């Protein structure tokens, strides 16, 4: 089985990658070879993950990763607020079927996240491990912040629709308790995506607000994949905090 991957290297020297065929896959490493090894593990995990969520899974006895796209010198890659590359495959319009599949995968990610965190005691949620910048509660708020940011890449109309679907101004949403905020942000985000994504086709978007990288390029597909990739990355971070394997098979 040949799996095409798109990889990027940041100005921070960090490497990130994903498998084009499998939206939401994400891996990272300090060098190219480490990244490719992590990506192979990620594909096997992802196929198990799809099967556990009753999705069809391709038969894979052997695997070979093929680097289909590679981008270098992405400013701040891997840092909060850093850029993420726009790949050629991001130019493919998101069909209604694609959109529904993305939203379905988003729901699986969120189920996984809540399974991990919803019963944690407060002291575990608020503990900040040595050397880490965020507690688990901080990570959950960060996931919400990121989802609002991805919506904002589609322009001011997205902000308006988001507030309509949330039934609250953004400032009020952002002040909600974290679990209530997770639900409100995700519900309003999905409705906003469903309203806007079908209209965008393969238009390249740039947006100056809320970013140190106003020239970063976005498309509908990049917006959708980042919803998936970012949440999974932080699911892995939380598992690391809790001392469990990051690609845990228990869902």
Is residue 52 within 8 Å of 68, Cβ to Cβ? no
pLDDT at 251: 44
Q: What is the pLDDT of residue 249?
A: 61
Q: What's the confidence (pLDDT) of residue 106?
A: 98
In this chain, the answer to whether the domains covering 2-78 and 89-241 adopt an identical fold is: no
pLDDT more than 90, % of the chain: 90
Domain boundaries, the chain: 2-78, 89-241
From residue 46, how far is each of 18, 23, 34 by CA, in Å?
A: 11, 10, 18
DSSP 52-102: HTT------SS-EEEEEEEEEEETTTTSTT---PPPGGGGS---HHHHHHH
Q: What's the pLDDT score for residue 13?
A: 85
Residues of the chain with pLDDT under 70: 249-251
For domain 89-241, the question of CATH label 3.30.420.40 is answered with no
At residue 63, the pLDDT reads 83
Q: Among 2.20.28.90, 3.30.160.250, 1.10.1370.30, 1.20.140.10, name the CATH number for the domain at 2-78.
A: 3.30.160.250
């Amino acid at each position: 089985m040949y799996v095409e991957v798109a990889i990027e290297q940041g100005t921070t020297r960090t490497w990130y990658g994903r498998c084009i065929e499998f939206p939401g896959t994400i891996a990272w490493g300090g060098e190219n070879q480490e990244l490719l090894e992590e990506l192979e593990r990620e594909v096997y995990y992802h196929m198990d993950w799809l099967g556990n969520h009753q999705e069809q899974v391709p038969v894979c006895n052997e695997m070979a990763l093929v680097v289909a796209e590679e981008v270098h010198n992405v400013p701040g890659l891997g840092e909060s607020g850093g850029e993420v590359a726009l790949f050629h495959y991001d130019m493919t319009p998101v069909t209604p079927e694609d959109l529904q599949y993305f939203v379905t995968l988003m729901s699986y990610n969120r189920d996984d996240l809540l399974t991990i965190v919803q019963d944690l005691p407060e002291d575990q949620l608020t503990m900040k491990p040595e050397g880490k910048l965020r507690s688990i509660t901080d990570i959950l708020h960060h996931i919400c912040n990121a989802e609002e940011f991805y919506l904002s890449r589609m322009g001011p109309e997205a902000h308006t629709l988001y507030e309509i679907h949330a039934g609250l101004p953004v400032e009020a949403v952002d002040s909600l308790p974290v679990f209530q905020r997770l639900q409100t942000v995700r519900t309003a985000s999905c409705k906003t995506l469903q309203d806007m994504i079908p209209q965008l086709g393969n238009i390249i978007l740039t947006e100056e607000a809320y970013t140190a990288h106003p020239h970063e390029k976005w498309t509908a597909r990049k917006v959708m994949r980042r919803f998936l990739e970012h949440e999974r990355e932080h699911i892995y971070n939380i598992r690391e905090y809790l001392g469990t394997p990051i690609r845990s098979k228990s869902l």
